[in-house]
Chain A
Amino acid sequence: MSSDLFQYVIRLGDNALINGQRLAEWCGHGPFLEEDLAMTNTALDLIGRARMLLTYAGELEGEGRSEDDLAYFRNEREFRNFHIMELPVGDFAFTTARQFLVDAYDYHYYRALRDSADATLAAIAAKTLKECEYHLRHSSEWMVRLGDGTEESHEKITRAVTGLMPFTPELFAADEVDRAMQEQGIGVDLDSIETSWNQEVDRVFSEAMLERPQISFTRGGGRQGLHSEHMGYLLAEMQSLQRAHPGLNW
């Protein structure tokens, strides 16, 4: 087993899982019924993606761990998602901005990953890309509606973006796993993803009449399993039932 590949896949799986877990919190609480359904569709896509990736990670590891073993029985320090995924949902502006920044990343990421030398990853990427395309369309439009809507919405989305931007450099910080995977033609080139992402963000921000905020600090560490304070609570909630009654079928 290539432990680099395992790492690479589990990172992608964790990102999808934690983002999906957060977005699912909206179900039943959306700003209106239609959007409630739309957000849940995205959350379902993310959970579905996490399941595929974690299942594959378990296979790569070869120790018989299932998607659920990986989702429910790893501790916080073993999770490899970016910080931006685990931040609390906040208001609709915050959720929209997070989804947009992540959707733009995922779209370009999975687009490139379709050419992965790893056939399973390439197949997952091809399926995922279609979902990402729709998510990005949906969240980009909301960025524009909120940015160019009312004064109040402009203010709220500006605040959300300002709060989130420091979490974005982490998305592009390649480490040895990323580099090894890229060299083997399995992983993507994060530099070129960053270029595409920047163009996407600039395009939508300009349409949304939003200034791109200067970043004076950054947050990260998810790759090393160093998370924000929010992560512990997210996992405590998500894993509570399995941890209280381990080893059973549900």
Chain B
Amino acid sequence: MSNTAALSDTFQKRIDAEEKIEPRDWMPDAYRKTLVRQISQHAHSEIVGQLPEGNWITRAPTLRRKAILLAKVQDEGGHGLYLYSAAETLGVSREELIDQLHSGKAKYSSIFNYPTLTWADIGAIGWLVDAAAILNQIPLCRCSYGPYARAMVRICKEESFHMRQGYELLMTLCRGSDEQKAMAQDAVNRWWWPALMMFGPSDADSTHSAQSMQWKIKRFSNDDLRQKFVDQSVPQAEYLGITLPDPDLKWNEESGHYDFGEIDWEEFFQVIAGNGPCNHERMSARIKAHEDGAWVREAALAYADKQRQRAEKAAA
């Protein structure tokens, strides 16, 4: 066996034995690349994901809701931070990752390219988008790459309040006035399908799935997770008195699952390609924050440098 083949063999055996891969371990280039792509995409999603909900911070209808929303959007920033750190253990800097996002080279979850038009959207995001995210994320706590798995454990722990606050928000609206109920229904109408799309293309069309499964970066297929999401959401919607916007949605006695309608994949690929309702606005906001922050980062570094020099001079 060649050296690489031997290393590769040890690597896969370790993964098969459910042992974690740590930053300094040998790993196939493709594994490293897949991880950097997936973790950074995940980090970008958290950071861009701050924007649609952040849109309502200044207008939250009570001070309690304002505090909750602020804490939640802050959590998303924190999750982005944990994930960038995990990606950095693979030898790529945060700056490089951010540049990839801004240049359009890196992707982020397309759900965040939809607008938050009413206050109920904050509830719908918490209930549907965060639930979908949690389903995607829980298996990642056991991902084969140590730093990613550890970041995900922390994230999942913090995430648990996000979905609950969203559902509670919608519950308040659904028990409220007719206008509030209509607002909630309208928000779910707009977020339901994009939330289903969050699980990615159907298994037949998913390009990265098989290899990621073998590497234990991914443990469940897109379609399985999507089905789980639909199954758990239906009774939750019924409790709210909300109608999910899918005429084909019905219980299938035989399969023990809900059947649901066909996803508009054309829309999905359009949004990924940058043509969603808010792609441009989201990217502009990120780039602006980063560029406006450049002089601040430089100043902090320059000051730290001066302080270091002063200390050295004093010691000499």
Chain A: residues with CB nearer than 8 A to chain B? 17, 21, 24-25, 27-37, 40-41, 43-44, 47-48, 50-51, 54, 67-68, 71-72, 91-92, 144-146, 148-150, 152-153, 156, 237-238, 240-242, 245, 248-250
Contacts and interface: CB of A to CB of B under 8 A. Distances in A.
B228 interface: no
A31 B61 contact: no
B146 to A, nearest CB: 22
12 contacts: A27-B50, A31-B296, A36-B74, A44-B67, A44-B71, A47-B63, A68-B64, A237-B59, A240-B59, A250-B65, A250-B172, A250-B176
Determine chain A's interface SS by DSSP, over half rule.
helix
Contact of B295 (A33, A36, A41, A153): A153
Nearest to A50: B63
A119 B227 CA distance: 56
Contacts of B297: 31-32
Given A21-B58, A152-B298, A241 B119 contact: yes
Interface in B286-312: 288-289, 292-300, 302-303, 306
A29 B289 contact: yes
B293 A32 contact: yes
Interface in B78-111: 78, 80-81, 84
Nearest to A145: B303
B70 A153 contact: no
Contacts of B59: 237-238, 240-241
A223 to B, nearest CB: 22
Contacts of B293: 30-32, 35, 92
A245 B303 contact: no
Contact of A248 (B58, B80, B180): B180
Given A152-B295, A241-B119, 5 more contacts: A27-B50, A29-B285, A48-B67, A144-B303, A249-B172
Nearest to A247: B177
A57 to B, nearest CB: 13
Contacts of B57: 24-25, 27
B63 A51 contact: yes
A152 B74 contact: no
A153 B74 contact: no
Interface string B162-184: 00000000001101110110000
Interface string B200-217: 000000000000000000
